[in-house]
Amino acid sequence: MLIYLSNLAVVVLAAYLARQSKSAIISKGLLALAFVSMVLVAGLRDRTVGTDTPAYVMHLNQIRSFVDVVQVGSEMGEYGFWILTWLVHFISDEYMIYLCAIAIIVVACYQRVIVAHSDDIVLSFFVFITVGSYLFFFNGARQGIACAIYALAVGAMLERNPAKYIAYVLVAFLFHKTAIMTLPVYLIFSRPNTLKNNLVIALIGCAAVVVFTQFSGEIASIGDMRYSVYLDRVEGGGYYMVGISALFAIFFLIFKKSVSIQRARYDLFLNMILFGLMIGVVSSVMSVDPSGLLRYGAYFNIAIVLIWPIVFKNLSDRRERAAAGYFFMVYCLAMLVLTTERFSNLIPYKFNPAVSALFR
């Protein structure tokens, strides 16, 4: 747990100093420090950290030539990920380099979005690390990359540029097939958050689950059994996380009437949050394995990272800001502890044996 808290402290402090600095060079250097910290914590971990990490190490050992890329890609699709796996061998066969390469792509995408579109990069980095967006790719590397690339589409939505949005989705699709399901939601995310639009979000969210399960079933039926988990039924799938998400979605809905600064952005992020919540609610009602369908909502978690700074920017009363800040800190830190201790074999954190040997 100490490594995750240390990473959080380094990133938040670096972001704070970067924001305060009057020198562009120093500011960029501090942000580079935050970037390096997040990449190294992800890249220098042992293969036992993260439930799916051994599977990705296995892929690295299997794909050593472009012929291997073509063979695996023809069976599973997602050529972007297999090409990345092949290219890593030109640098090293060591899986530490592989994990670092994945981390560089994910962190670079998210950091670019935060720096470009957050009203407070310190808050956004804090949320990014604590509520699970950062740790998600420790387990689901393919979808983690796809989610990070999709996060770049926030800029396209803010610019009302559907062509750029489609381009980002298609690139994300090269790493995880589920990304293609984000294409239609552009039409509802870019609209003002109204009761009518919320009803549309609810209906499309329910329809998306039906289409998504059919989509996953078709993929599984043609031999890609990785997607069968999206159809698995379990007891109590993700109720706690969905319940917490619902409470905060209600808060954001109620707080909407107090938002006068960055209202258009607030509505966009709120629409994304509500759509992600609908996916979670329906998947929980259906008792689908939370490691499956519930992961589809991960594409929209970037909205949580970007909406909190707008909330605090619209709190003018000092006491309100202090109270909100207190509960916000407690919630985020509790989520970090919960995510690392209970999910995805993230604890105990172990360094790659090659790194551990340096300290012996």
Q: Would you put residue 343 in left (φ > 0), alpha (ψ -120 to 50) or beta?
A: beta
CA distance 104 to 358: 23
CA distance 81 to 88: 11
Helix or strand or coil: residue 12?
Answer: helix
Mean pLDDT of the chain: 86
User: What letter does residue 351 receive in the DSSP assignment?
Assistant: B
Mean of the pLDDT values across residues 221-247?
58
* DSSP code string of 169-189: HHHHHTT-GGGGGGSTTHHHH
> Domain segments of the chain: what residues?
2-351
Amino acid 294 reads: L
**Closest of 178, 151, 158 to residue 291, by C-alpha:** 178
CA distance 251 to 285: 22
Q: Using an 8 Å Cβ cutoff, are 111 and 148 in contact?
A: no
Residue 7 has pLDDT above 60, yes or no: yes
Q: Using an 8 Å Cβ cutoff, are 147 and 182 in contact?
A: no
CA distance 50 to 54: 8
> Tokens for 234?
């379990």
Mean of the pLDDT values across residues 72-80?
87
* pLDDT score for 319: 81
For residue range 152-201, what is the model confidence (pLDDT) as tens digits? 999 999 999 999 999 999 999 999 988 988 888 888 898 888 888 889 88
Residue 228 CB contacts under 8 Å (≥ 6 apart), including other chains: 216, 220
Residue 32 has pLDDT above 80, yes or no: yes
For residue range 265-290, what is the model confidence (pLDDT) as tens digits? 999 999 999 988 888 777 777 665 54
Residue 69 CB contacts under 8 Å (≥ 6 apart), including other chains: 63, 79, 82, 83, 85, 86
Question: How far is CA 151 from its chain centroid?
Answer: 8
For residue range 87-138, what is the model confidence (pLDDT) as tens digits? 999 999 999 999 999 999 999 999 999 999 999 999 999 999 998 789 999 9
Q: Count of CB atoms within 10 A of residue 323's CB? A: 12
> Tokens for 49?
């950290």
User: What letter does residue 67 receive in the DSSP assignment?
Assistant: H
Rounded to two decimals, the pTM is 0.89
**Closest of 90, 44, 86 to residue 65, by C-alpha:** 86
Q: Using an 8 Å Cβ cutoff, are 292 and 230 in contact?
A: yes
Amino acid 56 reads: Y
Q: Which residue matches tokens 């551990």?
A: 356
Residue 224 has pLDDT above 80, yes or no: no
Query: Between vectors from CA 128 to CA 166 and to CA 275, what angle results, nearest 5°?
Result: 50
